[in-house]
Amino acid sequence: MELLDQIKVRARQLQNRIVLAEGTELRTLKAAEIIINEKLARVILLGNPETIEEITFKEGINVSGAEIIDPATDEKRQQYAEMMVEIRKSKGLTIQEALASLNDPLVFGPMMIKAGDADGEIAGAINATGDVLRPALQYVKTLPGVSVVSGVFFMLFKDKSVGDNGVLVFADCAVMPDPDERQLAEIAVTTAKTAKAIAGIEPRIAMLSFSTKGSAKHPLVNKVVNATQIAREMDPTLLIDGEMQLDAALVEAVGQLKSPGSKVAGRANVLVFPGLESANIGYKLVQRLAGAEAIGPILQGMAAPINDLSRGCSVSDIVNMVAITSNQAG
Ligand code: ACO
């Protein structure tokens, strides 16, 4: 079974409550109808019920199976505001400020999760990544023992000889602009867990650079060398190697030439890029020029699953992301 089909089967079994924070957005409403019909999750739409009713009536969309919550009037506002004040007391957040910011569905959604009223959230069809992430980072925060939230893409290739049965995992393509060596190590460790949990992949992690095993000398190369060492210390069971160039990571002959004896070189299925610039540009190159399907960004390291959509997303991207978010919620 293809990876996305496996994810959808599991989502149907889990029946998690997933918040669609942009509940008055057309693609989101069309996706909600599909999710309800395909029983992929229990859908919670945030937004003004009259606006939702108007749009769905005009467009012939049926979301009667969804729970609709208006962040501006919901009875739980006071409870959530008190929780927010408690979480942000060191930042001096007042109850009035908390109540005002709860009008924003991008704040209300994470607070529903924090209060146990939902299992996951997606947004980003009409909001920038930073605006989706900031409230999630501030209120839902990271998993115990994790300090860095990052984002992975599952790159799906028609050619099943690529990576793991046609799947390569790329990180961090979405969040940390310039991770330091410790943060890069943490991204590698977390990505290995995500690759296993979502796709059942046994990770072989390449820590990418413009140098392979000392072929170039530069502080940026040292960062990747040190990150690889730290990742090994964080999880001695990891199959990880670096620093290495992309061809050494993926092409058997080049890998054995540039990094002889490496268990990862030439066979990597998880690629950890040295920073957000190379990762974000890299996944888009592979998507646009190699025709790979890019599933993500799947955010990892957060205490509960909150995922960000691209503003260019399609209805089916939203449906897929709801299924993935539900899988992450477990
Ligand atoms: N992991 C965990 N916590 C984090 C992280 C992280 N990666 N980044 C920030 N935080 C925390 C901060 O510690 C802070 O916590 P506090 O308020 O409790 O002290 C809070 O989140 C807010 O952080 P700020 O630094 O004030 O917020 P900032 O404006 O820097 O936003 C953000 C953080 C949104 C993640 C920023 O780094 C960003 O915009 N990253 C790039 C996102 C992006 O544009 N990606 C490319 C597009 S996505 C795509 O193409 C697939």
Separation between Cα atoms, residue 157 and residue 86, nearest integer Å:
46
pTM score of the predicted model: 0.91
User: Mean per-residue pLDDT for 220-237?
Assistant: 97
- pLDDT bucket at 330, cuts 50 / 70 / 90: confident
User: Mean per-residue pLDDT for 104-121?
Assistant: 98
**Cα–Cα distances in angstroms (integers) from residue 265 to residues 131, 208, 212, 247, in the given order:** 38, 11, 10, 9
Query: DSSP string of 247-264?
Result: HHHH-HHHHHHHSTT-SS
Render pLDDT for 282-299 as a digit per residue (tens, 0 to 9). Answer: 999 999 999 999 998 999
Average pLDDT, the chain: 96
Go through the domains of the chain in sequence order and give each one's CATH number.
Answer: 3-141+304-329 (3.40.50.10950), 150-295 (3.40.50.10750)
> What is the pLDDT, as a whole number, of residue 145?
87
C-beta of 177 in contact with ligand 1 (< 6 A): yes
Atom of ligand 1 nearest to the CA of 183: 7
Amino acid in position 308:
D
pLDDT of 262 > 90? The answer is: yes
Distance (angstroms) between ligand 1 centre and the Cα of 18 equals: 22
> What is the pLDDT, as a whole number, of residue 82?
98
Pocket test for ligand 1, best of 90, 106, 137 (most atoms within 8 A of CB): 137
C-beta of 140 in contact with ligand 1 (< 6 A): no
